[in-house]
Amino acid sequence: MSDDAVRCRGLRYRFGATVAVDGADLTVRAGEIFGLLGPNGAGKTTTIRAIIALLPVPPGVISVFGRDVARRRMAVRRLIGYVPQQLSADAALTGAENVALFARLFDVPRGQRRAAVDGALAMMGLSDVAGRRAATYSGGMIRRLELAQALVSAPRLLILDEPTIGLDPVARAGVWERITAVRAETGMTVLVTTHYMDEAEQSCDRVALMHRGRVGALGTPAELIAGLDGAGTSLDDVFRAYSGEPVETEKGGIRDVRAARRTAGRLG
């Protein structure tokens, strides 16, 4: 459908004998903030990597704005801005240098790069610290810098894999304020994975809960909570009902972010 940003049908992926994703079906509508939730090892990160063409999938399984990921990998990648779990900012570079590097990587035309870099930094509230090395940034500033890196090419789809992992509540709120502001200003589609159920409940238009490689529940936060027939009052209750596991959450500066993301990356 033309109004779908992402469509996955029967996505399967295994690493050796381990089945990471087992026939997942998923549709993300254009312009929405969509949350992909689930316990560690549920298959969220593998699904994300398949959508952005970092993992091979057969033709006809995943499309992004109508473009088949298997057949048009580069075209799909040009539509996407991606913030991974692993730290992507270079601590030795300034904020502006980090964003400029991504502008070159994403082939932003030379004549437009300066304006694109300045605009992305301004959008994330980092103009005043653009000349400082990223090593001096707080954890919340680092995450906003990574958002600026992802946004410098003006993508139609922004994919965030645990964007607030390792942050304190104030920094988490600041990152989400920027994400929702960008979506409101540009109409961009946002696909986000998170272990923070309060974030998903407050900010996502719809959510899907993955467990053991499958999508077990899909709908608005209010619909999923109501579906528990009075047994729940929040997405935390939905998470426990479908996964049988407690919600795991993780705080800090650039070193804390690195450590938290290394752990998240290992656990999937």
Q: Is the pLDDT of residue 77 over 60?
A: yes
pLDDT band for position 258 (cuts 50, 70, 90): low
pLDDT digits (tens, 9 = 90+) for 241-256: 888 765 555 444 555 5
C-beta separation of 53 from 69 below 8 A = yes
Average of per-residue pLDDT across 255-266? 48
* Percent of the residues in the chain that have a pLDDT greater than 90, as a whole number: 72
CA 195 to chain centre: 12
CA distance 199 to 206: 12
Structure confidence at residue 167 (pLDDT): 85
pLDDT digits (tens, 9 = 90+) for 183-218: 999 999 999 999 899 999 999 999 999 999 999 999
Alpha-carbon distances of 267 from 93, 121, 171, 208, 262, rounded to whole Å: 29, 31, 23, 19, 9
Mean pLDDT score of the chain: 89
CA distance 71 to 167: 38
Structure confidence at residue 3 (pLDDT): 76
Structure tokens at 257: 């972010």
pLDDT digits (tens, 9 = 90+) for 21-41: 999 999 999 999 999 999 988
pLDDT digits (tens, 9 = 90+) for 93-128: 999 999 999 999 988 999 999 999 999 999 999 999
Structure confidence at residue 264 (pLDDT): 42
CB-based burial of residue 166 (10 Å sphere; 0-12 exposed, 13-18 middle, 19+ buried)?
buried
Q: Which residue has the higher pLDDT, 79 or 167?
A: 79
Structure confidence at residue 265 (pLDDT): 43
* Percent of the residues in the chain that have a pLDDT greater than 70, as a whole number: 90
Structure confidence at residue 247 (pLDDT): 57
Q: In this structure, is the dihedral angle defined by the CA atoms of residues 189, 116, 194 and 69, taken in order, positive or negative? A: positive
